[in-house]
Amino acid sequence: MKPILFLPVLLFILLPCSGQDTFSPAQRAEWLRKAEACKPKLSETVKTPQRLVSLNKNEDAFQGWEASAAGDINTLYTSSLKKQSGVVVDFGEHLTGHFSCHFNLAGNADSDAPVRVKFTFGEVPAELATPFDPYPGGLSRAWLQDEIVTIDCIPNSITIPRRLSFRYVKIELLAHSSFDFKISGMEVKAVTSVTGTAAPLAQGTPQAIADIDRVGLATLRECMQTVYEDGPKRDMRLWIGDLYLEALANTYSYKNHDLTKRCLYMLAGLAAPSGFLHATVFETPKPHPQTRQHILDYALLWNVALLDYLKTTGDRETAFDLWPVAAKQVEVAKTYIGDDLMYNEKPVWIFFDWRDGLNKQAPLQGLFVKTFNDTYELAKMLGKEKEVADLPGLTKKMIRVARQNLYDSKRGLVVSGPNKQVSYLSQVWMTLGGIFTPKEAQKALKNAMATPDAVYPGSPYGTHYMIEALIACGLEQEAKDYLVKYWGGMVQKGADTFWEVYDPNNDFLSPYKFFPVNSYCHAWSCTPVYFIRKYPQIFQK
């Protein structure tokens, strides 16, 4: 399949706000108080480098570069740093935390001038081998992890102030005097809110599955900070889409349900005055939203996440407390549905996947139905069904309309938009929305995969829902094969943690016009942990 390149457009929508806040100040304050009460204490582990490596071009390696062993770390520590500028240190695993080191004099000369050193931190080898400047990316250059440090006198110890996310460190001398010096004592105080370990997989689990699970657990661990971060390198904040998928994986691994609770409350407390949830929020300097940034499909998934949280934990108090937010997302969603019971084309950011050209009409119709059904189920569990009594009838009508307008029964495929686009995610969300029968879903998914020009998922996020749909309609072997091929492909290309963007046909794909700024440890990529552990009969045999 020919890869589809893309340049995403992020829409920041100015939504009309009523003069009165949907939720009272006291209600919001209480939600934020409860979020803060669930804030975990980060555990800290000191990690030291494992070896020196050299960066080598290799067309067969991920993004054309590989790291190969180049010596013992003591070689660096016992020799003059002036003779080793450009050395690359390998910590042997992906880490998130604070880096420090020590500089010592070598010889009898005095430290008569400052020393200036550049540290570049990379999650994958190509980050260290690709010049950052002139910077062509669409996001801030400051996301890239290169830090210039000036040491006024030696001996001295330094700690890089910013928290970093990396495996490799390149050390370059930018300025020095005639005296000699060495570097030593490099370490990272690695942080995560994970304190326990996940249960082992069944004996006899295929090695490919075990490797995928191991990397998925590392990805989740790195992203579980004081919120479910989307990526510890970038963007380092809470997004609804990542929250939902991280919570699923956490349920079947580390079981830190208070972190899920914290994130649900924080998002609720920071909703827009209209009640519409912001897609992303920040913790510092105090909790606040990225104002006016809304993603319709993310807001709908918050309801799905709340239902899943209630089923997982039995915490009716939290679900009952947050019910008004779920009800409000239904009200907001209805404003985007026209008289024909289809999306009415009002401007709003609709995501679903990093794939340029993906038509969102059919996926959104399926998600509308799923969210309304899940919200009604949540309401029944809380004794609130009278407040959303119209939802069962509405979803039945929306299913009928979807089948009339979007399902090509002759081809056995969902088509989306004016050009009748065929995409994997159109079949996926019509399946997850219950718009198909299981046999229809199987046929549609198989037909899409057999259609050469069908738009396939461009990220682990979209791919998660592909696996979920395959399982939902009974295509269990296909789900296993797809998971092993996709996430196993990243493992084979050297992934320590799973990446934000991965297209097996294009290693350099980037939503941001510059692949080094991609996140190579990203929350929405961790969900093989969920599938492997929830469905052992499929994946652990």
- The CB-side HSE value for 511 (13 A sphere, CA atoms) comes to 18
**Alpha helices, DSSP H only, in 4-86?**
25-37, 73-77
Considering only CA atoms, which of 424, 299, 295, 428 is closest in space to residue 351?
295
Distances (CA, A) of 97 to 162, 243, 502: 9, 21, 25
Residue 216 CA to residue 373 CA, distance in Å, equals: 30
Question: Which pair of structure tokens corresponds to residue 237?
Answer: 């904040």
DSSP state of 503: B
For 148, other C-beta atoms within 10 Å of its C-beta total 12
Could you tell me which residues come within 8 angstroms of residue 151 by beta carbon, excluding any fewer than 6 positions away? 103, 114, 115, 116, 117, 158
Residue 31 CA to residue 36 CA, distance in Å, equals: 9
Distances (CA, A) of 300 to 205, 307, 452: 35, 12, 31
For 439, other C-beta atoms within 10 Å of its C-beta total 11
Question: Which pair of structure tokens corresponds to residue 472?
Answer: 């939902």
pLDDT tens digits for the chain (541 residues)? 333 333 333 333 334 444 589 999 999 999 999 999 999 999 999 999 999 999 999 999 999 999 999 999 999 999 999 999 999 999 999 999 999 999 999 988 999 999 999 999 999 999 999 999 999 999 999 999 999 999 999 999 999 999 999 999 999 999 999 999 999 999 999 999 999 999 999 999 999 999 999 999 999 999 999 999 999 999 999 999 999 999 999 999 999 999 999 999 999 999 999 999 999 999 999 999 999 899 999 999 999 999 999 999 999 999 999 999 999 999 999 999 999 999 998 899 999 999 999 999 999 999 999 999 999 999 999 999 999 999 999 999 999 999 999 999 999 999 999 999 999 999 999 999 999 999 999 999 999 999 999 999 999 999 999 999 999 999 999 999 999 999 999 999 999 999 999 999 999 999 999 999 999 999 999 999 999 999 999 999 9
Residue 458 CA to residue 330 CA, distance in Å, equals: 28
> Looking at this protein, which amino acid is placed at residue 111?
S
Annotate 88-106 with three-state secondary structure: EEEEEEEEEEEEEEEEEEC
pLDDT of residue 423: 98
DSSP state of 78: T
Handedness of CA 40, 46, 51, 57 (dihedral sign): positive
pLDDT of residue 108: 87
- Strand, helix or coil at 27? helix
- Strand, helix or coil at 232? coil
Question: Which pair of structure tokens corresponds to residue 67?
Answer: 């790291």
Handedness of CA 264, 269, 271, 276 (dihedral sign): positive
Q: Residue 441 is inside which H or E element, if any?
A: helix 438-449
pLDDT of residue 19: 55
DSSP state of 295: B
pLDDT of residue 20: 81
Q: Do 287 and 269 meet the contact criterion of CB atoms below 8 Å apart?
A: yes
Between CA 232 and CA 474, with CA 502 as vertex, the angle to 5 degrees is 110
Considering only CA atoms, which of 16, 26, 11 is closest in space to residue 272?
16
Domains of the chain, earliest start first: 25-42+203-539 (1.50.10.10), 43-192 (2.60.120.260)
The reported pTM is 0.95
